Amino acid sequence: SQQGEEDPQALSIQEGENATMNCSYKTSINNLQWYRQNSGRGLVHLILIRSNEREKHSGRLRVTLDTSKKSSSLLITASRAADTASYFCATDAKDSNYQLIWGAGTKLIIKP
């Protein structure tokens, strides 16, 4: 079964608007991490939220976690063209040995 699933699969917005991406998962987790990947490039860590946390901020990023619904959201405020990338959630399941299980990602396009 799929552990992390993001939606939408693709999102296109105007520069300056806010972008919200969602992630759902199936099993109990230790933490959930969000990553960004520019086309064909490496995975850049954005933020980690632990299972006992509900919200976390980092600059223009805001992440929420609802363990009862097994879901998380990533909000990017005041988007910029440089935010264009794919965004992935990855979960560290409680019954795993620190392996991260990944979603398929949301492809975000910021139009100038």
- Site of interaction with another protein (CB under 8 A): 30-31, 33, 35, 40-45, 48, 88, 90, 92, 96-105
The phi and psi torsions of 81 (rounded to 5 degrees) equal -55, -35
Torsion sign, CA atoms 45, 85, 54, 2: negative
Helix (H) or strand (E) holding 30: strand 29-37
Minimal distance, residue 76 CB to another protein, in Å: 19
Minimal distance, residue 74 CB to another protein, in Å: 15
Minimal distance, residue 16 CB to another protein, in Å: 29
Minimal distance, residue 17 CB to another protein, in Å: 27
Residue 15 or 109 having the CB closest to another protein:
109
Residue 36 or 70 having the CB closest to another protein:
36
Residue 43 or 75 having the CB closest to another protein:
43
* Percentage helix, strand, coil for the chain under 3-state DSSP, each rounded to 5: 5, 60, 40
> What's the CA gap between 55 and 73, in Å, rounded?
9
- What is the amino acid identity at position 40? G
